[in-house]
């Protein structure tokens, strides 16, 4: 562990409000924050501390990517890549881990990985679980909370990479199996083989939620349709992933139940770039462009409905399981601002709100005595979220 380091005369944007704090110094000792003080009030005479001139930079809490897939690469071929050999997927995980650190992501919530045999530990389960375990004591890798594999209605996700249930009893059994395998949470898939029809009922989902809560685990659910979102709130899930089709009634019930929305709006920005950089019909054809534009508008409007209602919004990239890459959470923060959140609210969604969803009180926040999980950027993310792309220095795992 590194010794004493003094980060002197930075700005501070912590997502707690809209005001940027200027002239802040932070003393770190053995990976913990000793104090955060105005630079003019620094104690004198600490000759042991290495001084980092942070003038002109802004300190930001380590980001929390609440929707990630650490064993998958992303890009325009993301669907096909889930069937890559596990050895290749573990290589991708290591690359993703380094990209996450370099971009300021301290926590990654993996919400689904291929169910396969891990070549390093020999266990057949969601591949991210082994990666999580091996990264646990590595300061150059993010902290990971992992859901095992996706639990879905049979016939939904192609390729045989998920756990497939045909009955409500199988849904419960396979969900329990994820926790038995060591998962931190359960990920249900509430888009089904039939478009615009939820694959399970609220009662089916509630059985899973009751079981998981009895084991101190949470349940989240992939949902891009309104029927699926309604089943999410009927079943009492802890969070809805994507939530690209919500109405005011669903949003009201989410607030009443404390259900989080985990946004992934930047996937639409990514697809727009693919229309320029690939020749894949699903992105470049006139029909595809129109369909993507319609989905984008629906997703942005759903986010606005949730925000107006007061739904707690955490956020993520969907990298690997979607088209983004592991170092692009800043893109999602920008998308949230475009959708109507204030920059400080968007930053909070990518920091302290994510920590709240994880149940980790020190994730995405900074305080004396807490971990030195912060990074420094050039610019003010409270007025310009693009500043989060300009990472200068990461305080952990150096």
Give tens-digit pLDDT for 170-214. 999 999 999 999 999 999 999 999 878 999 999 999 999 999 999
pLDDT at 14: 97
Two tokens, residue 9 = 């005369």
Q: Could you check whether 5-61+364-394 and 63-358 share the same CATH topology?
A: no
Task: State pTM to two decimals.
Answer: 0.97
Two tokens, residue 65 = 């990517």
> What is the distance in angstroms between the CA of the first residue and the CA of the last residue of the chain?
10
% of the chain residues with pLDDT over 70: 99
% of the chain residues with pLDDT over 90: 93
Half-sphere exposure of 21 (CA within 13 A, CB side): 17
| 2 pLDDT more than 70 | no
Domain spans of the chain, in order of start: 5-61+364-394, 63-358
> 100: closest CA among 121, 131, 54, 56?
131
Distance CA 197, CA 227 (A): 6
For the stretch 90-130, pLDDT in tens is 999 999 999 999 999 999 999 999 999 999 999 999 999 99
Two tokens, residue 30 = 């053995």
Question: Looking up tokens 């930047």, which residue turns up?
Answer: 266
> What's the whole-number average pLDDT of the chain?
96
Q: At 57, which helix (H) or strand (E)?
A: strand 57-61
Q: Which CATH architecture has domain 5-61+364-394?
A: Roll (2.30)
Distance CA 153, CA 140 (A): 37
User: What's the full length of the chain, in residues?
Assistant: 398
Distance CA 319, CA 263 (A): 12
The CATH class, in words, for 63-358 is: alpha beta
> 103: closest CA among 384, 377, 383?
377
Question: Please, which pLDDT band fits residue 398 given cuts at 50, 70 and 90?
Answer: low
* Number of C-beta neighbours around residue 139 at 10 A: 12
For the stretch 295-307, pLDDT in tens is 999 999 999 999 9
């Amino acid at each position: 562990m590194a010794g004493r380091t003094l980060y002197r005369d930075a700005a501070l944007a912590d997502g707690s409000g809209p005001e940027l704090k200027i002239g802040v110094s932070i003393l770190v000792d053995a990976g913990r924050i000793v104090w955060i003080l105005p630079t003019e009030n620094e104690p004198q005479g600490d000759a042991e501390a290495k001084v980092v001139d942070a003038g002109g930079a802004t300190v930001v809490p380590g980001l929390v990517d609440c929707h990630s897939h650490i064993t998958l690469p992303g890009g325009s071929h993301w669907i096909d890549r889930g069937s890559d050999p596990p050895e290749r997927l573990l290589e991708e995980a290591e690359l993703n881990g380094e990209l996450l650190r370099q971009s300021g992501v301290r926590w990654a919530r993996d919400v689904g990985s291929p169910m396969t045999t891990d070549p390093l530990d020999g266990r057949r389960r969601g591949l991210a679980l082994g990666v999580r375990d091996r990264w646990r004591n590595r300061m150059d890798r993010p902290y990971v909370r992992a859901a095992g594999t996706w639990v879905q209605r049979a016939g939904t996700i192609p390729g045989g990479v998920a756990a497939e249930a045909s009955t409500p009893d199988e849904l419960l059994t396979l969900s329990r199996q994820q926790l038995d395998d060591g998962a931190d949470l359960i990920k249900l898939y509430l888009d089904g083989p039939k478009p615009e029809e939820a694959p399970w009922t609220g009662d089916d989902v509630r059985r899973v939620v009751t079981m998981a809560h009895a084991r101190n685990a949470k349940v989240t659910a992939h949902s891009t349709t309104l029927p699926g979102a309604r089943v999410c709130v009927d079943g009492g899930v802890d969070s809805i992933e994507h939530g690209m089709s919500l109405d005011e009634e669903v949003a009201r019930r989410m607030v009443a139940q404390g259900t989080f929305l985990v946004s992934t709006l930047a996937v639409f920005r990514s697809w727009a770039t693919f229309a320029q950089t690939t020749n894949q019909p699903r992105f470049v054809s006139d029909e595809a462009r129109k369909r993507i534009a319609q989905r984008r508008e629906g997703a942005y409007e759903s986010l606005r409905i949730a925000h107006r209602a007061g739904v707690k919004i955490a956020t993520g990239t969907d990298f690997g399981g979607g088209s983004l890459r592991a170092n692009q959470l800043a893109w999602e923060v920008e998308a949230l601002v475009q959708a109507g959140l204030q920059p400080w609210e968007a930053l909070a969604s990518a920091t302290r709100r994510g920590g709240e969803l994880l149940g980790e009180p020190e994730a995405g926040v900074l305080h004396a005595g807490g971990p030195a999980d912060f990074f420094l950027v050039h610019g003010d993310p409270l007025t310009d979220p693009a500043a989060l792309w300009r990472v200068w220095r990461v305080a952990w795992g150096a």
